Amino acid sequence: MKLAVLVSSGGAAFEQVARIVRHDGVDFTVITDRGCGAEVVAGRVNAKHIRIEERDRKLFSTKVAAALQDLRVNNILLFFDRLVSSELFDSVDTFNIHPAALPAFKGLRGVEDAYEAKARLLGCSLHRVDQSVDGGELVSQIACGADPQWPLSRWQKRAYLMKVYCGLVWVNQAIHIEAPDTPVNASHGLPEGWMASFRELQALEAETVV
């Protein structure tokens, strides 16, 4: 199965997703818009890499869509700090992971905004991308308790783990492993091997989010 990720950061969450599903026949392409850590990650997980340096949103989205068409990839996940346009999300299935329990705390500072609001719940949402900002159809969400007295770094670590989990849900649905409709914080029908690897990652980070 061919899947793509659009990344503008270090790519840590994507790297864990790729490592957990590496034996399940997923062929990843990493697309970036600048030099970033995700390009190094692509090499570590044996993913293809394409850099598209274009600042205009519509032109960038058009070029990404064209690259995916050439690769015959019709499903892409965003770990991205820019908005994309309909030239992309009208052409291929486009999803985003937002580090908050939407519709709360939309925008680029989901974790920081929740922290500053002294929220007691930290969430993460997988949703379809449309013309709105973090307003597309929700695919799945997870949530865990949070303490305003914790340092922001702990909130960010938990958000990282939840991004990995939602990334696994995205892959699971894309490769059509049957997953029943499930409530918040259920396993979403993820393969047990993936869940075992995710639990190991949680133990390594000394945090539990699911």
Tens of pLDDT along 4-24? Answer: 999 999 999 999 999 999 999
Alpha-carbon 164 to chain mean position: 7
Q: In the beta sheet, which residues pair with residue 4?
A: 29, 76
Query: Which residue matches tokens 């949530």?
Result: 143
Q: How confident is the model at residue 32 (pLDDT cuts 50, 70, 90)?
A: very high
β-strand partners of 95:
77, 128
Q: What is the pLDDT of residues 155-164, one digit of tens each?
A: 999 999 999 9
- DSSP labels, 37-89: HHHHHHHHTT-EEEE----SHHHHHHHHHHHHHHHT--EEEEE-SS---HHHH
At residue 76, the pLDDT reads 98
Q: How many CB atoms lie within 10 A of CB 44?
A: 11
Q: Other CB atoms closer than 10 Å to residue 206's CB: what's the count?
A: 8
Q: How far apart are CA 207 and CA 199, in angstroms?
A: 10
The model's pLDDT over 132-186, given as tens digits with 9 standing for 90+, comes to 999 999 999 999 999 999 999 999 999 999 999 999 999 999 987 554 454 444 5
Fold of the domain spanning 2-205: Rossmann fold (3.40.50)
CA-nearest of 188, 195, 142, 194 to 169 is: 188
Q: What is the DSSP letter of 106?
A: -
Residues 6+ apart with CB under 8 A from 56: none
Average pLDDT over residues 67-75: 97
Task: Kindly report the average pLDDT of the chain as a whole number.
Answer: 93
Beta 48-51 vs 27-32: how paired, if at all?
parallel
3-state helix, strand, coil in the chain (%, to 5): 40, 20, 40
